[in-house]
Each structure stands twice: as structure tokens, then as C-alpha cells.
Structure 1
């Protein structure tokens, strides 16, 4: 009995308590969960002002350094020596407002993951736009998946064909 408990205890120690989704995104649900967490990280930057290092710490688990720079240049504003984002209906480099349903397509390959969705035209409300695709490309970097590119109507045709 003691031997069995010892073996069970050792096995439990070897199993991670919280799997790290960014290391293995094996299906659509994993990818959706990762993107939703990344989006939450982005919008959390509007809650309070933060230092540059605090912002890096929030974004680094999800975004490549290059993507963080693009996001920073477009969305971060300085207030009294710290930084914050402001809300907008159409802010570049935020995770798109995906449906996270059958409308949102995922194309997984060993070196990249494309997430895309077709958005029909809208003229309602304060923001209007023509029909277009929006997407995100993830790349494996140092063993972890990171959001590496924001795609707005420049998704490769081969990826659109695979998705649809």
C-alpha cells in the first residue's frame, strides 16, 4: 500500500498542475483560449498606468517582441512617466473581435498558426467598414507559441483556401 501511494505521489509530481497552453496549441480550442487570454492581457493595460517593464511582463507570454513594439507604437500613451492604453472601436494590433465559433478559422502547421475570420460590411453604429478578413499569425519562438503578426486583408490566399 505504501509503495503504491509513493508511486502515485511521484507520478502526480511529474504531471504539471497547470498545462502551459502557449507551449502546445494542438487544436482549435487551445488556440482560442490562448487568444482570449492574450486579448485580456491587452485590455488589462487600460486599467491603470504601468511601467514599461510591467507592460512587457503582461504581454510577453503571448506576443513576440516585434509584435509588442507594433502594439506599443500604436496604442500606448504616456501619463506622468507611466503608460496606459485608451479604448477604441478600431485599434490596430489588438486581437480582432473573433466570434470564436465556426466563423473563426484556424490553420495549424508545424511552424505557424493562422487564425482568421471574414467580417461582412457594416454601416451601423459609430464604426463602419467594408467586408474584409482579419487574422493573427502565431509562430513558435524558443519553444513557445507567440502572436507574431496582425493580418488585415493580407492573409495569404493559400491560408484562406485551406481555412474555407
Structure 2
């Protein structure tokens, strides 16, 4: 009788383990364009929030690590986080490295999945209106999977040939 209980327990543990693995696979494959847009927008808001009040580097890293790969979070902190009285903070700038660009999140925002990565981008046209001008070109955010979670892995101004040829 004890042997049957042991086998039953092992069978249940095996089935649960297999099911959990399947759930992770399904979740990764169910990542959609809407998920990509939401992730980029939430990551942008998180970056902007770092200028609101001083906090510890750990708090900053914890916030960024929800949305950015380890490497990009570390680069962002190195380039944009400054020590001030009461902790660390970011300062606003139009040209700070590793910041997600100002996207409109409308029909002008493109999203594509190519070669295991998501690309979220907009094409910019020359504009001289207002206090800020912009040069024409591409501003793109690249999402990659890190430890089973989609995260922002880079900001770029070029798209892969496969996307450009579509």
C-alpha cells in the first residue's frame, strides 16, 4: 500500500512539473503586440519616475529590473543616475542615453516580431515646430526575453534588414 502511495505522489509531482513548464512556454508564446507596447510604455514611465525624488540605488535597480535587461539597466544607471542629498536621482534631458524615446503609441507606432525579438518603433520626420526640433529617422526599442520574461534590451536608431524590406 505504501508503495502505491509513493508512486501516486511521484506521478502527481511529475504531472505538476510538466504542466508548469507548459504554462511558461505558453505564456512566452502568447506575448503579443499589445503586450510589447504596454511593456515599452510602462518602462518609459518608470524611467521618468526616477527623476521625481531621491531613492537608493537598490530601489532604482529594482524598478528598472522589472522592465529592462540586467545589462541595459546597469548601463542606464551608470549613464543617468546621480548621487544627490538623500539618495540617487535622474535629471531630465532630451539627449540622455538609454532612455526610451517619446513614442505616440498610436497608428504611427510600429510593432514587429523578428528573429526572437520584438521591435517597437516610429519613423520621425524633420520638425522645427516648438522649442524642440527633431531629425528624421527611426527610433526603436528592442525587446528580448531574459529568464523567461520580455524586457527592453536596447534602444536603437536602425532596424534589421528583414523589417526594412517588408
Q: Tell whether the structures are fold-level matches, with TM greater than 0.5.
A: yes
Return the match for 1:78 from 70, 76, 83: 83
* SS class of match (2:129): coil
What are the superposed Cα offsets for residues 44-99 of structure 1, whole Å, 9 maximum, x if unpaired?
Answer: 10111111111111100100111112212322111036210112233332211111
Relative to the length of structure 2, the TM-score reads 0.76
| Count of residue pairs brought into register by the alignment | 140
* SS class of match (1:123): coil
Structure 1: stretches of 5+ with no match in the other structure:
1-21
Deviating above 4 A after TM superposition, structure 1's stretches of 4 or more consecutive aligned residues are: 22-25
Rate the CA distance shift 1:51–1:156 in 2: closer, same or farther, 3 A.
Answer: same
* Partner in structure 2 of residue 14 of structure 1: none
Please identify which structure carries the higher helix content.
2
Q: Which has the larger radius of gyration?
A: 2
* SS class of match (2:165): helix
* SS class of match (1:34): helix
Asked if the contact 1:24–1:145 (Cα under 8 Å) also holds between the matched residues in 2, the reply is: no
Structure 2: stretches of 5+ with no match in the other structure:
1-26
Rate the CA distance shift 1:24–1:52 in 2: closer, same or farther, 3 A.
Answer: farther
Return the match for 1:156 from 154, 160, 165: 160
